[in-house]
Amino acid sequence: RSSYISKGGIIMNVGVIGATGKAGQLILQEAIERGHDVTAIVRNAAKVTANVTILERDVLALTKDDLNEFDAIVNAFNAAPGEETKHIEVGRHLINLLAGSTTRLFVVGGAGSLFVDESHSTRVMETPDFPEAYYPTASNMGKNLIELQGQQDVTWTYLSPAGFFDPSGQRTGTYSVGGEQMILNAKGESYISYADYAIAVVDELEKGQHLNERFSVVGEQG
């Protein structure tokens, strides 16, 4: 599937689920700009603005045959309000489709499941100040992570953004990497722009430094 290119890198065949969403669009663009073969996996092809291969399919209607040509699948699915349990449903469907294959599953995760303490006893979403409106999304994305952590036959990565995940933030081109615990930037803030997060996603797809684990990123405000 992968073919080497002259500068020593590898062209990957990447599918992006939710490629018309805020995060998905930027991840799609970042991968295209780096020369990868990218497919937008979307429910509505008319919403795709990039010049890219399109697979028009509801995520829950995807089959093993749809995905077996990809080196990596990015799950940037975002559930509508009131349908947050779809994060578990979609996550489980993709686990089932990719089980036993060599295709990597990369999940655009949430910050709510990060720990706030070194003892890993309290998650961000369990703190008193966590916004109630975000809890259904955070808890269901967190359950998807727990299911991934129990898998033996899927190669996965789950990337949690910072607490303030800024759709309109600048692309600074830099970020810092953390693990299971929330980390802060130079100003003591948990912040990352969508654009810098997209860089981190494609960096990880290329380097594979966090296989079968969750990691997190934080950035500076541009």
- 31 is written with which tokens? 């991968």
Name the nearest CA neighbour of 141 among 204, 218, 83: 83
pLDDT tens, residue order, the chain (222 aa): 444 333 346 899 999 999 999 999 999 999 999 999 999 999 999 999 999 999 999 999 999 999 999 999 999 999 999 999 999 999 999 999 999 999 999 999 999 999 999 999 999 999 999 999 999 999 999 999 999 999 999 999 999 999 999 999 999 999 999 999 999 999 999 999 999 999 999 999 999 999 999 999 999 998
User: At residue 167, what is the residue type?
Assistant: P
Query: For residue 6, what pLDDT is reported?
Result: 32
The whole-angstrom separation of Cα 65 and Cα 39 is 15
The whole-angstrom separation of Cα 126 and Cα 11 is 41
| Beta strands per DSSP E along 5-161 | 10-11, 13-17, 37-42, 53-56, 72-75, 104-108, 156-160
CA distances from 4 to 27, 32, 200 (A): 21, 16, 21
